[in-house]
Copies of this chain bind each other. A is one copy, B any other.
């Protein structure tokens, strides 16, 4: 009698969904969600954006404002193609870049060795004194109270770690901007949706008004 007609939305672990059919459903819904968010960001803030997703079946979904290719161009070769002269500079930078990368690689490899050794030493020390700390003991040896404490403590730590991870990830999204100060944002309005697959339009975003930009399903 008190039975609810629905469990409503439930929390799910942030890890790969095991059940295939569930995964497919979630993929479809969340894909739509992400595309919508991307579109809204573009609309609200008037910024250019590109989003490419390969489905579990390896289908490609994409959205771009003003279109995917222009964004890719800007991302890969960050310059509005003015002259061939620029290309030379680009190449020079590329060479310098390679040298730079090689140096970094070498340095980092060395550092990695050092850190590894460091970690090993600490691990040994820790192992030696591990028995004296209940919270490091195997779980099945802990009492109820201890487990509760541990749970609370770890949840706190988890929160902090999550937040920090988020911050770091968000910050690292940023890539270096071109030193050139051009601002010509081309507002090419929507081209007809992908002609390769006419069905893509209604499939990908049946309920959404892509008044601009470009959304298509490929293959």
Contact = CB atoms under 8 A, between A and B. Distances in A.
Contacts of A122: 118-119, 122-123, 125-126
Contacts of A166: 32, 36, 208
A138 B133 contact: no
Contacts of A82: 69
Contacts of A193: 157, 161
| Interface bracket on A | 35 or more
A168 B186 contact: yes
A78 B218 contact: yes
Contacts of A14: 40, 43-44, 206-209
A158 B177 CA distance: 33
Interface string A152-174: 01111110111011101111111
A41 B30 contact: yes
B46 A169 contact: no
A33 B166 CA distance: 11
Contacts of A34: 34, 37-38, 41
Contacts of A40: 14, 30
Contacts of A56: 45-47
A76 interface: yes
17 contacts: A14-B206, A14-B209, A16-B46, A61-B173, A62-B75, A78-B218, A90-B219, A96-B180, A98-B101, A100-B177, A100-B180, A100-B181, A118-B122, A136-B196, A161-B193, A168-B186, A175-B217
A31 B38 CA distance: 8
Contacts of A215: 172-173, 175
Interface string A184-200: 11101010010011111
A5 interface: no
Contact of A175 (B180, B184, B205): B184
Interface in A129-165: 129, 132-136, 138-140, 142-143, 145-146, 149-151, 153-158, 160-162, 164-165
